[in-house]
Amino acid sequence: MSKEVGSDDLGEGDYLPGLTALLQSMDYDPRFTDQGRRVAWGQVVGALRSRAQAIKSMNENPGYDAKPIVSPVVITGVPRTGTTALHRLMAVDPRFQGLQTWLLDAPMPRPPIETWASYPEFQKSVQVLEARYAAAPEQRAAHFRAAEEVHECCMLLWHSFVSNLWSCGWSAATYDAWWQAQSEWPAYLYYYRCVQLIGSSEPEKRWLLKNPGHIENLDLLFAIYPDAKVIQTHRDPAKAIPSLVSLLMTLHALMEEGRLEQRGEIMLRREVAKWSNAARKAEIEREKHPGRVMDVVHGDFHRDPMGVLEKIYAFIDMDISDELRAGFAQRIAEKPELQHGVHRYNITDYGMSEEEAREPFRDYIQRYDLLETRT
């Protein structure tokens, strides 16, 4: 890491308890394949490398944090409810800046786009993604990523090793139990500094951010972004949560030996519990911040994306020019999210009925009218 980054400074030691818990869990919980163990270690080292890169770049760019982040637009919601499609559609608007995948891997002030391909960090991100899709081709259809496209805030939050992401790649029950008892506040402070760093070359440009996990931490989100405009997406949980589990399970055969059916069933129950609790927490925080969150139902967005965009832009106090409208219309017509195939899954593959999956979300489903006509 020191050789690649040129520094072994990882900043404050807030990441150490989580790293310790994760390493202990890796020794105890999963049944790694040989390749899976290498991949898991690669992710741990990669997160540490990214953190070292961020701290190094902060030290090399004094004043990167001179200006606060003003009125960011933040998309969140239970995973697989349309957050990615909405995020990438809105990113067509050149007035926004976002977190590109390669800059999440190697945080630094965002250089001019025409120079990205010359950066070793960009080239490495391309190589890593290509290797991932070669190992699990079905991930292209389920959740395609590209080095140059915007991606999720969670990829900065996981540098602090207090993150839901570390419970998703392989069996990590002991880490998961530890994580659920922690505050992510230090991780959010680090994340905020990274966003400032990446945007320091254009500090006045408005941010467009996205992360499903924010719905569990709206209190922390509003603490760092007091004037944020939040868009929360919604979908029938009996459709969204199995889709998430199906996505996460695509790597199981690569990462672990056996227990495929058992892990899928355990994961679905875990995700239903986690995200139903997150939805309840979000409602509590929303009441404390009236007028700060706009709702978008998955079915409405797919039926009339332009109509939904018009409502969003009114909410965030921005206009849609004729040129921008044409850009939106082109991306909508091209349907780039489907270019790698359709992600297919079935909740019954994971030992649960739709009714069971919906039960913990009963109030949430009723509040946003997510059944039947809006599935």
Average pLDDT, the chain: 92
At residue 74, the pLDDT reads 98
Angle at 327 between CA 321 and CA 329, to 5 degrees: 100
At residue 136, the pLDDT reads 60
Q: Which two tokens stand for residue 374?
A: 């809006």
The rounded distance, in Å, linking the Cα atoms of 22 and 12 is 18
Residue pair 254/135 in contact (Cβ under 8 Å)? The answer is yes
**CA dist 235 → 22, 158, 188, 279, 331 (Å):** 32, 26, 26, 12, 22
**CA dist 218 → 74, 128, 184, 291 (Å):** 11, 31, 11, 14
Q: Which residue has the tokens 């219309």?
A: 329
Question: In this structure, which amino acid lies at residue 235?
Answer: R
At residue 179, the pLDDT reads 96
Q: Within 10 Å of residue 241's Cβ, how many Cβ atoms?
A: 30
At residue 375, the pLDDT reads 42
Query: Can you list the residues of the chain whose pLDDT is less than 50?
Result: 140-143, 374-375
At residue 6, the pLDDT reads 80
Beta strand residue intervals within the chain, DSSP E: 73-77, 96-97, 206-210, 229-234, 293-297
Chain length of the chain: 375
In tens, the pLDDT along 337-356 reads 656 555 567 888 888 999 99
- In three-state secondary structure terms, 79 is coil
DSSP character at residue 144: -
**CA dist 226 → 57, 153, 240, 246, 286 (Å):** 26, 17, 29, 35, 13
Q: Would you give the end-to-end CA distance of the chain in angstroms?
A: 46
List of long-range contacts for 44-51, beta carbons under 8 Å, 24+ apart = 44/19, 45/1, 46/105, 46/128, 47/158, 47/159, 47/161, 48/1, 48/10, 48/19, 48/159, 49/1, 49/4, 49/5, 50/104, 50/105, 50/106, 50/107, 50/159, 51/10, 51/11, 51/15, 51/159, 51/160
Buried b / exposed e across 154-182, counting CB within 10 Å, b at 16+? bbbbbbbbbbbbbbbbbbbebbbebbeee
The rounded distance, in Å, linking the Cα atoms of 185 and 255 is 30
Residues near 67 by beta carbon (within 8 Å), at least 6 away in sequence: 196, 203, 204
At residue 374, the pLDDT reads 44
Residue pair 107/156 in contact (Cβ under 8 Å)? The answer is yes
In sequence order, what DSSP letters do the residues of 257-295 get, joined into one string? SS-HHHHHHHHHHHHHHHHHHHHHHHHHHHHHSTTSEEE
Which of 264, 252, 262 minimizes the C-alpha distance to 345? 264
**CA dist 274 → 56, 284, 311, 366 (Å):** 35, 16, 30, 19
Residue pair 101/259 in contact (Cβ under 8 Å)? The answer is no
Residue 70 backbone dihedrals phi, psi, to 5 degrees: -105, 130
Pairing mode, strands 229-234 and 73-77? parallel
Residue pair 352/276 in contact (Cβ under 8 Å)? The answer is no
